[in-house]
Amino acid sequence: MIIGAQAMMLKEEFARDGVFRTLEKLAAIGYRSIEVSQVPMVPETVAELSRAQHELSMDVSAISCLLAAPEGSPFDALDADFAKIVADAKALESQHVRIGILTYEALASRARLEHFCDTIEEYGKRLADEGLTLSYHNHHVDFMRFDGDAVLDVIVERCPNVFLEIDVHWVQRGGLDPVRTLAAYGDRVALVHLKDYRIGHVPEEAFARYFAGERGAVHETFPTLVQFAEIGEGTLDFPAIIAEAERIGVQHAFVEQDQRYGRTSLEALQTSYSNVVAMGFGDRF
Say whether both 129 and 207 belong to one domain: no
Q: CA–CA separation, 6 vs 11, rounded Å?
A: 10
Chain centre distance of CA 156 = 18
Say whether both 89 and 214 belong to one domain: no
Task: Please tell me the predicted confidence (pLDDT) of residue 204.
Answer: 97
251 vs 8, 97, 190, 232, CA distance in Å? 20, 14, 7, 21
268 vs 23, 232, 258, CA distance in Å? 15, 11, 11
Contacts of 131 (CB under 8 A, 6+ apart): 95
Say whether both 238 and 215 belong to one domain: no
The last residue of a domain, from among 213, 228, 243:
228
- The mean-pLDDT minimum among 18-22, 69-73, 256-260, 276-280 falls in 69-73
Q: CA–CA separation, 245 vs 241, rounded Å?
A: 6
Q: CA–CA separation, 61 vs 194, rounded Å?
A: 15
Say whether both 100 and 237 belong to one domain: yes
Say whether both 22 and 148 belong to one domain: yes
Number of structural domains (the chain) is 2
Is residue 125 within 8 Å of residue 161, measured between CB atoms? yes
Mean pLDDT of 215-227: 96
Is residue 144 within 8 Å of residue 106, measured between CB atoms? no
Say whether both 177 and 214 belong to one domain: no
pLDDT tens column, 128-160: 999 999 999 999 999 999 999 999 999 999 999
Say whether both 215 and 150 belong to one domain: no
Mean pLDDT of 108-120: 98
Mean pLDDT of 7-25: 98
Say whether both 220 and 141 belong to one domain: no
Residues in the chain: 285
Mean pLDDT of 81-108: 98
The last residue of a domain, from among 212, 228, 244:
228
Mean pLDDT of 32-43: 98
Tell me the residue range of the domain where 224 lies: 198-228
Chain centre distance of CA 278 = 23
pLDDT tens column, 180-218: 999 999 999 999 999 999 999 999 999 999 999 999 999
Say whether both 106 and 84 belong to one domain: yes
Q: CA–CA separation, 84 vs 82, rounded Å?
A: 5
Say whether both 70 and 52 belong to one domain: yes
Say whether both 53 and 91 belong to one domain: yes
Task: Please tell me the predicted confidence (pLDDT) of residue 69.
Answer: 86
CB neighbour class for 32 (10 Å; exposed up to 12, middle 13-18, buried from 19)? middle
Say whether both 156 and 27 belong to one domain: yes
